[in-house]
Amino acid sequence: MWKLADEILSSRLLLGTAQYPSLQTMRDAIHASGANVITVSLRRQSPQEKSGSAFWQYIKESGCHLLPNTAGCHCAQDAITTAEMAREIFQTHWIKLEVIGDDYNLQPDPFELVKAASMLIHKGFEVFPYCTDDLVLCKRLMDVGCRILMPWGAPIGSGKGLVNPYSLEMLRTRLPEVTLIVDAGIGKPSHATQAMELGFDAVLLNTAVALANDPVRMATAFQHAVIAGRAAYESGMMPERNMAHPSTSLLDTPFWHQEAQA
């Protein structure tokens, strides 16, 4: 169990709801993942598209915590307007804040992001900002009141995994009290495990599951990957060494004798 904002959750995997081949596949994948939180975009999905009203009905009845996002917004004001619509429709003050600054790699605009985050927090939202792994940007978001940060592992939908593990590890080290969720770029279960081994609190992904040949099995794989990574982090992983170190004691030397001497 862990705490996200003011909610107690059992799963550290957050799952998106876009691009699935069918509504039933999406439902089955969410169930298989064990996710307690699902994301939805008002600007890219509407009752008139995809599975129509059935999609929105399932979202409302899923039993999951809803995390609406502002995907597709390019300025603070658009993001704020979308967030206010989401709060009214879904009756939640949670919002995944996306303010895109570049259409090629979908990198967030740091200036508009901080501006929007500050205004939304003033309006009573719990803001989950999608940001880069830049430490200074993350600090600025915390300064305006963000308790949760969602740095990317790689550009959205790229599947490249953690392209800059050093920066992500530095965020975890320098910001020990903030909730950190890797968002974007996760392509394989091993990427999710790596993020969790760095000490991140959770992973959010969508494309890697939705576009898999078998989304339901892939969702299950990610569920196990996140659990394994978190367990490894909490257990204390052995440090890397530059030299070999025997794992088996010498003949006629009890291993407990060596440990006592150490």
Tell me whether residue 96 is one of the annotated catalytic residues.
Answer: yes
Task: Give the Cβ contact number of residue 11 at 10 Å.
Answer: 19
Tell me whether residue 157 is annotated as binding: yes
Tell me whether residue 164 is annotated as binding: no
Question: Which single residue is written with the structure tokens 């927090």?
Answer: 121
Task: Give the Cβ contact number of residue 54 at 10 Å.
Answer: 12
Tell me whether residue 36 is annotated as binding: no
- Beta-carbon contacts of 190 under 8 Å, excluding residues fewer than 6 positions away, are 161, 225
State the catalytic residue, choosing from 3, 50, 60, 96.
96
Are β-strands 179-183 and 202-205 bridged in parallel, bridged antiparallel, or unpaired?
parallel
**Distance between CA atoms of 147 and 149, rounded to whole angstroms?**
7
Tell me whether residue 70 is annotated as binding: no
Per-residue tokens: 58 = 């399932």
Label residues 209-246 b or e (16+ Cβ within 10 Å = b).
bbbeeebbebbbbbbebbbbbbeebeeeeeeeeeeeee
- Beta-carbon contacts of 88 under 8 Å, excluding residues fewer than 6 positions away, are none
Report how many helices (DSSP H) and strands (DSSP E) the chain contains, helices first.
10, 10
**Distance between CA atoms of 223 and 161, rounded to whole angstroms?**
16
Tell me whether residue 206 is annotated as binding: yes
- Catalytic amino acids? 96
Binding residues: 157, 184-185, 206-207
Binding residues for 1-deoxy-D-xylulose 5-phosphate: 157, 184-185, 206-207
